[in-house]
Amino acid sequence: MMKRFQTKFLVVAASLALAACGGGGSSDTTPQLKITAVKVFGDSLADSGTFGIKFTVQSADTQIYPERVAASYGLSLCNFYTFTGTTFAPNAKPGCSNFAVGGGVINHSNPADPRGIPLQLATAGSLGAYAAGDLAVIDGGGNDAADLVGAYLKVPTDKAAAYSSLLMTLLTPTQVGTALAGGASGAASIGLSYMQALADKFYASIKANVLDKGAQQVVILNMPGITNTPRFQMVLDSIAAANGGGTAGATARAQAEALFKSWIEAFNKQLDSKFAGESKVAIVDFYTAFNEQVASPAQYGLSNVKTPACPITGVGADGLPTYTFATCTASTLSASPPAGVTGADWWKSYAFSDGFHPTPYGHQLTAQLISKTLAIKGWL
């Protein structure tokens, strides 16, 4: 999910996928509801092959979370879009219903680019009404949050040019101008307003293109805490260093992390409020689950929630590590455990594949969280 990091301090997040606590409580795995198709929308967390890879450790049997959800109904998925090297085209294979694209955002600058999640939703909606047995699975927002933070961190060097430009894609010039005239506190608070507007945009697109098209079962993952990811932790460490380290640096780091968390929480709260009372929608609390998993990894069978399993293959223009998913294979990892680690399966209990995407086990945990939500709704 994920790219477009605009600042040397920021990097995406995750949109990373880590969920909480095991599956549902029943040993009966027979679905209560007859689901005949699963339609998926979102970013790299949900992309099952648009770019010829999955954004995790590669292997023949790797399943990302929407594939696991589909499998619980006896269904399989394939990517609706394929990347040609220059643009995106519909997959020649018929019947593909995973519209998610790596790098997906809710607020894309180009409405004709399928990395815009609203276009994914509209494209599926244009193909016809949802059937009674269709399940829509939707994620998004992590890359948007990364873009916002990246623009915000550039304020001291570009006089808020990038930040104000992004803000005005969803807010009025008056709102933005007034906030930025208020100095540091205004610049911080307007980010919250932007995230609320982003949730409104997400809601409007889902309502128009999914609910109003007849969907009866819609699962939406809220936004995870992107500051938990290894790459974003490096960004926060850079903020501490830029403020002199020590107590002053730690304070600046904590303040930045608290601010970015408040923005994410504002998005999630707004999303909850927009869908309140809508019986056809189930919101998966990805945010809380991910926070709990990072705080108590052993409880979730995780041995490492800080270090990516894939090897670093370079350094980006932002000075942060880069990774190559195409060469990060299960067999390669099993053959080369890091120092201090033994056994071929060492990476299978890691949370992160790279700096902001989950391992296959992270996807398993996410799928279990979704399945629990589906079971509570009576949809599984």
Global confidence as pTM: 0.91
**The residue to which tokens 């998966």 are assigned:** 284
Report which of residues 12 and 74 the model is more confident about: 74
∠99-101-106 over CA atoms, to 5°? 90
**In degrees rounded to 5, what are phi and psi of residue 16?**
-60, 150
Task: Indicate whether 344 pLDDT > 60.
Answer: yes
Task: Indicate whether 85 pLDDT > 60.
Answer: yes
* DSSP code per residue over 294-325: HHSGGGGT-SBSSS-SSPP-EE-TTSSEE--G
Separation in Å, CA 17 to CA 103, 131, 152, 314, 336: 14, 28, 24, 23, 25
Rg of the chain, C-alpha, whole Å: 20
The Cα 101–Cα 120 span in angstroms is 9
Nearest to 362 by CA among 317, 300, 280: 300
pLDDT at res. 31: 58
User: Which one-letter DSSP state was computed for residue 351?
Assistant: S
Average pLDDT rounded to a whole number, residues 258-262 = 98
pLDDT at res. 10: 31
The Cα 104–Cα 114 span in angstroms is 8
Would you call 137 helix, strand, or coil by DSSP?
Answer: strand
**In degrees rounded to 5, what are phi and psi of residue 138?**
-130, 130
Nearest to 328 by CA among 53, 11, 78: 53
pLDDT at res. 260: 98
Task: Indicate whether 29 pLDDT > 90.
Answer: no
pLDDT at res. 369: 98
At 41, is the pLDDT very low, low, confident or very high (cuts 50, 70, 90)? very high
Spatial contact of 67 and 40, defined as CB atoms under 8 Å apart: no
Helix 230-242 to helix 246-275 angle (10° resolution) is 140
Nearest to 281 by CA among 196, 215, 365: 215
Would you call 65 helix, strand, or coil by DSSP?
Answer: helix
The Cα 352–Cα 45 span in angstroms is 12
Percent of the chain with pLDDT strictly greater than 90 = 90
Report which of residues 340 and 298 the model is more confident about: 298
Average pLDDT rounded to a whole number, residues 74-93 = 97
Task: Indicate whether 8 pLDDT > 80.
Answer: no
User: Which one-letter DSSP state was computed for residue 81?
Assistant: E
pLDDT at res. 24: 38
pLDDT at res. 141: 98
- pLDDT tens per residue across span 300-332: 999 999 999 999 999 998 899 999 999 999 999
Mean pLDDT of the chain: 93
pLDDT at res. 4: 41
Nearest to 272 by CA among 238, 235, 222, 224: 222
Task: Indicate whether 11 pLDDT > 50.
Answer: no
Tell me the torsion sign for CA atoms 352, 229, 101, 204. Answer: positive
Task: Indicate whether 25 pLDDT > 50.
Answer: no
Task: Indicate whether 19 pLDDT > 60.
Answer: no
pLDDT at res. 123: 98
The Cα 376–Cα 366 span in angstroms is 16
pLDDT at res. 33: 81
Which structural domains are found in the chain, ordered by start? 37-377 (3.40.50.1110)
**The residue to which tokens 């069978």 are assigned:** 301
At 30, is the pLDDT very low, low, confident or very high (cuts 50, 70, 90)? low
